[in-house]
Structure 1
Amino acid sequence: MSCTIDIEAGRNHAPAERAARRAGLHRDTTTRAAYRTLHAGFLAGRRPGRTLITTTAWPDLNLAARDLPRIRDGLTRLCRGALGLPATTRVPPRRTQLADSLDRARLYWVDDDFTNMAEAAAAELPAVTVARDLAPCDDGLLIWSRPIAPRGIAAASWSRHGDTTWIVLYRTIGGGLRDEAMQALRDDAGWLAPTRDQTLQAGQRLDDGRRHPVSPLLTTWLLIAQGAAEAEPAAIDKNTRKKYERLKRPLPDVRIVHIRTRHTADAGGSRTATNRAYTSRVWVTGHWRDQPYGPGRALRRPVYIHPHLRGPKDAEIKLSTTVRILGSHGSNDPQDDDRA
């Protein structure tokens, strides 16, 4: 981005000097002249227009809930602007359609605990049959509190029409830039760049859910659908309110998604649904289970069972070689807040 700013400002030698410094060769007059010659040839062969490169090794950014309205607006500005997008997704020919969907989108920000749970559950996601109502709304933009490893996915948007849902995945851009370059990038391209997209059909079966490109989003949707999450309206900051009022736009609908407080402890605490007696408390690791639903409970969808302690609440915890850190989703029993 710094090179773009220099070139557009007429400082054509600056990128060559920067390249020589990064190579540790800036004190060699002959080498610096060679760098300038190479850059001059590049500049002479430039074609009109610019394309956003989405493979740059940007450092990750953590995006805050309060920033969602301007992040969404930056993305719609990118879709409707002149900056080219690489042909690695179906976004370029559908960028106006994406921008219109984002204008209608409900905005979700997923907090740290829920992001951690979604990442862990996505790594074990079983086969999934796509239901028409799997997504929580027709148009949405969802941002996790941090990029989901190992894909580095920071956000996802979707647009549902009938039985078809188009999903676009995004990464953050601009991390580590200095102020001038950062502001230029934000004005030009915003905070997010599309890296992958996928179309899902109602009734489609994804046999290996954990390996599917959109598994983090599918997992988040499933957790929301099973009631593991609460989505509370987020306060809109004063500057955003004034901007939207000035433009006569309705205020954005921003939801903060967090783990629902659970009250599912068994009164006796000593027997399971299979009537198995426990004399100590044992760890149950997080896992997926098929749950019947729909007419006559004939359909199935995966439900994630949180890691929790099972057994009488006053009994000793059975020792294991596994270390676990309990957060707000560490136990199904609100009294099971045991920390070493």
Structure 2
Amino acid sequence: MSPHPRELPKLRDQTMRHLDDPASALRSGTGDDAKEGLDALAANLRESGLYWVASDMAALAVSSGSQLAAAQWSTADRPSERGLIVLEGGVGHMDAQGVEIPIEACAWGPHPEGCLVWLLISRRGLAQKMTRTDLTLVVEDIPPLLPVYAFTVPVDGSVPMVEIDPAVPQPVVGALAASWLLMQQPTLIDTQRERPDRAVRKAYARQGRPDPEVTLVDLRRQYVPQGQEDSEEERKAGRYRHRFVVSGHWRNQAYGKERALRRQTWIPAYVKGPDGAPMLASEKVNVWRR
């Protein structure tokens, strides 16, 4: 079970305590080769934006991410320069010595080599996984969000998925990249702010820190594409004599001032063709109504 959105500030801070303590099991139990990456994770978490993606939205991120051939990872393409995102229900698994570890969250931030991304599992998820083994989990030694694997991505231009660290499962990295892109489409998603519990807000006030906020991301109530009608030229030419389903797909769409910039935009599945024409029912169509 994924953490609740209100818990994220507290879970983030508790994870940072493990990262900041050289005597913690997380620090003392990892080699020197991981020190730099864990230091960077701690620094990024300290200033991270907090995001919680609902299960429907996470499912769309996984599905649409599988169709991404490439993605951009620059600061302008992220919802914030540094961030922590929890995807409800997880977005795939990593193999760890024959054991499948579910990836439930990702953290990112700047790095000399571009953008550093950490894949994380919640302590709850790990505990659930451990019930199927003969091993015992020492809860106090495990941070609420446990770092599993880190990789860096260049931030210049579009990076083909096949060029990203091959140890990272494509469904995981695709879902993260798709999440960032989908979060830039207000016609497709709803966002709202979730404040933490009063005890957490008081603790932040005592430390002179501003109230933390979590951005909740979910699909809009009607997952309905806009502007997909045939053009006037197509209708006059009688180009389409049937209706058919155009599957959800990415389009390199213009945006920005004078539409001079380009960004991958998710076009939801829709039906194309003239009203009243027979349907070519070659695919199953899922209509999202929430």
TM-score (norm 1): 0.64
Q: In the superposition, relative to structure 1, how do residues 320 and 155 fare at CA in structure 2: closer, same or farther (>3 Å)? A: same
For 1:322 and 1:164, the matched residues in 2 are separated by 41
The answer to whether 1:77 aligns with 2:11 is: no
Which has the larger share of strand? 2
Q: In the superposition, relative to structure 1, how do residues 274 and 164 fare at CA in structure 2: closer, same or farther (>3 Å)? A: farther
Partner of 2:199: 239
AA aligned opposite 1:303? T
Equivalent position to 1:282, from 238, 244, 248:
244
Q: Is the 8 A contact 1:110 1:145 kept in 2?
A: yes
Query: Map of 1:54-93 to 2, 5 A cutoff?
Result: 61-81=1-21, 82-85=24-27, 91-93=34-36
Partner of 1:196: 149
Query: What secondary structure does 2:88 align onto?
Result: strand
Q: Is the 8 A contact 1:124 1:210 kept in 2?
A: no
Paired positions, count: 262
Partner of 1:154: 104
The answer to whether 1:167 aligns with 2:107 is: no
- Give CA deviations for 1:288-321 in whole Å, capped at 9, x if unaligned: 1222456775654322211223356x74782635
Identity score, percent? 26
Q: Is the 8 A contact 2:58 2:175 kept in 1?
A: no
For 2:32 and 2:279, the matched residues in 1 are separated by 50
Q: In the superposition, relative to structure 1, how do residues 256 and 305 fare at CA in structure 2: closer, same or farther (>3 Å)? A: same
For 1:303 and 1:293, the matched residues in 2 are separated by 10
Q: In the superposition, relative to structure 1, how do residues 210 and 78 fare at CA in structure 2: closer, same or farther (>3 Å)? A: same
Query: Map of 1:139-150 to 2, 5 A cutoff?
Result: 139-150=82-93
Q: In the superposition, relative to structure 1, how do residues 210 and 71 fare at CA in structure 2: closer, same or farther (>3 Å)? A: farther
Q: In the superposition, relative to structure 1, how do residues 70 and 206 fare at CA in structure 2: closer, same or farther (>3 Å)? A: same
Query: Map of 1:1-340 to 2, 5 A cutoff?
Result: 61-81=1-21, 82-85=24-27, 91-151=34-94, 152-160=102-110, 164-173=114-123, 174-176=126-128, 185=139, 187-208=140-161, 213=168, 214-227=173-186, 228-260=188-220, 265-266=226-227, 271-272=230-231, 275-276=234-235, 281-293=243-255, 300-311=262-273, 315=276, 318=279, 320=281, 322-328=283-289
Greater RCO, 1 or 2 (C-alpha within 8 Å, sep 6+): 2
Superposed structure 1 runs of 4+ greater than 6 Å apart: none
Unaligned runs of 5+ in 1: 1-60, 330-340
TM-score (norm 2): 0.74
Q: In the superposition, relative to structure 1, how do residues 128 and 270 fare at CA in structure 2: closer, same or farther (>3 Å)? A: closer
- Give CA deviations for 1:124-172 in whole Å, capped at 9, x if unaligned: 1112344441111111100101111244321111113699321111123
Q: Which has the larger radius of gyration?
A: 1
Unaligned runs of 5+ in 2: 95-101
Q: CA RMSD in A?
A: 3.5
Q: In the superposition, relative to structure 1, how do residues 233 and 211 fare at CA in structure 2: closer, same or farther (>3 Å)? A: same
Query: What secondary structure does 1:225 align onto?
Result: coil
